[in-house]
Structure 1
């Protein structure tokens, strides 16, 4: 690995944190959730095009099918997120929906054989506690 993953993770946290505020601001200013999805997707496509297209190599194989399915799941989650954003504050929805990491941790262990030790299990339990606190 050429980059420190911790810096990449911190950058992800920072930009995704700002994303939650900006899309809620758009909703408060009167943008319909469907317009927010389209414009947010356009922004994502612009960044992805600049970052990835010069290096991308596509093929019709299992790996690329998995990437497509992942994108579809992300898109469906996004639609549900933007719809829910009309109902609750971003300060509730973003941390709550951010608990998707629980699903990733469990499914990665079950289907990809990734390790799931006691420390990770404790983290999952603490995150589950956060869900209870955030949704009450």
Structure 2
């Protein structure tokens, strides 16, 4: 069984690209298991991760592909949550969505993707960059 942790933010396009990469991994659907991770930075309405459109989109795609999955939700720094979840489940791979940012934007605001790459003790795949 190949266990993948997928970091899912609010962007549906990121979620779709990440799940497409899981589907395209070698092996049968039955050989893959996914943990979708969504970290709420701000959640005044008390929503659950399964109510977030991007998480629902990813879930529906995984179901359609016949891939076993679970949804983990948390609050706090998304990069820390993704890395700690990957460690907790002993994931074989972490997949996160990329985005275009200027060097100054990365320096000023940080990057979840960059933090995951630097903090993970396992392979990290970054999906195509969306504008």
**TM-score under structure 2 normalisation?**
0.29
The answer to which structure has the higher helix fraction is: 1
Q: Whose Rg is larger?
A: 1
